[in-house]
Amino acid sequence: MKILHTSDWHVGKVLKGQSRAEEHKQVLAEVIEIARRERPDLVVIAGDLYDTAAPTPEATRLVTRALTALRRTGADVVAIGGNHDNGPALDALRPWAEAAGITLRGGVREDPAEHVIDGTTAAGERWRLAALPFLSQRYAVRAVEMYELTAAESTQTYADHLGRILARLTEGFDEPDRVHLVTAHLTVVGAATGGGERDAHTIMGYAVPASVFPGTAHYVALGHLHRAQRVQGPCPIRYSGAPLAVDFGEQENVPAVTLVEVTATTAARIREEPVTVATALRTVRGTLAQLAEITPPEGWLRVYVREQPRAGLREEVQQLLPRALEIRIDPELVPAPGTGTRVAQRSGRSPRQLFADYLDNRGHADEGVRELFDELLEEVDH
């Protein structure tokens, strides 16, 4: 069978005030075209279909149309909820999805059998997929209790709970004549972050070892980390990465989907298929004079300005580089906290004194900014 693995669409993303809706339309159109060309038996979307738990109607239309188009290629389609998604809202779409031949699993249900999906390809290859949406630490404990695996003790870790849940969902992975698959939205220890993930759901006890996946799995399709990569483990484990860079921290990532060919008796053959229409994110740096001389690269820009801070600097950069979404003073020019001028002490000092110390400590010498602060303070006081 052939599998197309994608994840972390983040439809509805707004970057520094810039809507990415048109970019997402183009990117998902290319993903659909890849599916039409490659003719996979199964498409897996491993979470974070949306960028927010309250997507706009436009974002919802784009996702549902993309899922429908993928289904119309002839593939079975399975999508799970990620940490950015609203699991109950995705589950509310299940009647529509089932009528369209699409499998949605937004959150963990009380019956573990609902997370075990069976299918057969047109060529007769039988497959089973264990589909685990994102679980917060709180609901990981609840899921363990629902499945009556063991008593959920307070000393057990998130990884303990995820390991028990996955063991329950993959109990039938010992049949020799079927392809066994897992999809989940989580962080595996040792994998590299892509740069735009939500930190609280990547660190702070949310990372699990690769050993939570069974050695009998033919392929594990993961979402959550935005960099396409293979993870060392007891079976083939892979993040497909995001098909669109969602933040400037991801500018070095190569947007792609993953294609997998596997049978019940042969190892998975894995390759990346680039998504080429994604708008690039680039970083440029220099003085105003240097920025005026460069030929701006294609894509959205982050600009590190090698100038001392002053009022109006952002507007000057914006005039030179209209596609600059993020403009900052070059970090190399910003003094480290506590160096140079002493750090202001709050006690007994006026707002003017505190603000003046802050500007001195940041190397900001523009008197116009101090005067503007005084004017605003005067208005507030009156």
Q: What does each of the 382 residues of the chain score in pLDDT, given as a tens digit?
A: 999 999 999 999 999 999 999 999 999 999 999 999 999 999 999 999 999 999 999 999 999 999 999 999 999 999 999 999 999 999 999 999 999 999 999 998 888 999 999 999 999 999 999 999 998 876 665 665 556 555 444 346 788 888 989 999 999 999 999 999 999 999 999 888 766 555 544 555 678 999 999 999 999 999 999 999 999 999 999 999 999 999 998 888 899 999 999 999 999 999 999 999 988 999 999 999 999 999 988 899 999 999 888 888 999 999 999 999 999 988 877 655 555 445 446 666 777 778 777 777 666 667 777 777 777 877 777 6
For residue 206, give the nearest of 232, 218, 182, 224 by alpha carbon: 224
In Å, how far are 54, 175, 293 from 314, measured between CA atoms?
Answer: 32, 62, 17
Give CA–CA dist 266/218, Å, rounded: 9
For residue 82, give the nearest of 104, 60, 59, 113 by alpha carbon: 104
For residue 158, give the nearest of 128, 200, 129 by alpha carbon: 200
Give CA–CA dist 233/188, Å, rounded: 10
The packing angle between helices 21-38 and 57-72, to 10°, is: 10
Token code pair at residue 245:
């860079």
| Residue that is written with structure tokens 């999805």 in the block | 97
Give CA–CA dist 110/156, Å, rounded: 21
Phi, psi angles (nearest 5°) of residue 314: -60, -45
- What single letter denotes the amino acid at residue 324? A
Give CA–CA dist 255/272, Å, rounded: 9
Q: What is the pLDDT of residues 66-78, one digit of tens each?
A: 999 999 999 999 9
In Å, how far are 9, 61, 64 from 56, measured between CA atoms?
Answer: 15, 9, 12
Q: What is the pLDDT of residues 134-177, one digit of tens each?
A: 988 766 656 655 565 554 443 467 888 889 899 999 999 999 99
Token code pair at residue 302:
């982050």
For residue 147, give the nearest of 182, 180, 171, 119 by alpha carbon: 171
For residue 158, give the nearest of 197, 111, 196, 203 by alpha carbon: 203
DSSP sequence for 87-135: HHHHHHTHHHHHHTTEEEE-S--SSGGGGEEEEE-TT--EEEEEEE---
pTM, full prediction: 0.83
Q: For residues 290 and 314, is the Cβ–Cβ distance under 8 A?
A: no
| Residue that is written with structure tokens 């003790």 in the block | 153
